[in-house]
Amino acid sequence: MLLILSVAALTTGCRREVGVSLAPLRAPRATGPLRVNPANRRYFTDASGKAIYLTGSHTWPNLLDRGTISPPGIAFDYTNYIKWMVSHNFNFMRLWTAELPNSGKTEDPYDNVVGPPMKWPRTGPGYANDGGLKFDLRQLDPNYFERMRSRIITAGNNGIYVSVMLFNGFEWQFETNPKDGNPFFDSNNVNGIDCRGACPTDTSAMPKEVWSVEQAYHSKGYRFGERS
């Protein structure tokens, strides 16, 4: 409903000559962080006070490479993805994360396997049920955060606002499987931490050690976001 009203607000009352295209208005750089526009709460705004209408497109591997083998054989072409976004006059994307190294049988079998870096490093000793080294949940993989930061900066320099996805709870709810590599299975990490199913998204169910792990991740992500 809000989307329809927003589009109507943009089009109602516009006058132009027949056959003359409207010139797209697009900022060359993102000027966030965005906030709700107090003059019209259906839109965001930045420090300028002007209404900013967000529209965009996403694809699952724009942060983490995906494929059918581990690691995926072809890296995602982020540079051309950004060029494509700009060519379509888009100014918004969601930066997708993943929780399971192998999400098994899904609607998109070509994207089931997720390549490194993930939030936590796979250091071992020992192997997880997906065949990769076990995770160490007491560490954070700096490569994950550096990639996140660099891609946010690249997007912003091309006029694209980014919604950073901290967790992908859908995977924990619906895509766990016997070979998923879920880092919160005690058999898949070196810390003996166990929080199965939707437990990592449920504060009423998660043990204190899981909340501690997630707080460390939140803090790191926010600091990197402030630097971007």
Please list the rounded mean pLDDT of every run of 10 residues in the chain (228 residues): 30 49 72 90 90 91 92 92 96 95 81 93 97 97 96 96 93 92 97 93 90 93 65
Q: List 36's β-bridge partners, or say none.
A: 44
SS3 149: helix
The proportion of the chain whose per-residue pLDDT surpasses 90, expressed as a percent, equals 64
Q: b or e along 122-145 (b: 16 or more beta carbons within 10 Å of the residue's beta carbon)? A: beeeeebbbebbbbbbbebbeebb
pLDDT value at residue 147 = 96
For 212, half-sphere exposure in the C-beta direction (CA atoms, 13 angstrom radius) is 8
pLDDT value at residue 22 = 56
pLDDT digits (tens, 9 = 90+) for 94-145: 999 999 999 987 777 788 899 999 999 999 999 999 999 999 999 999 999 9
Angle CA 6–97–92, to nearest 5: 25
Q: Under a CB-based contact definition with an 8 Å cutoff, are residues 135 and 141 in contact?
A: no
pLDDT value at residue 5 = 27
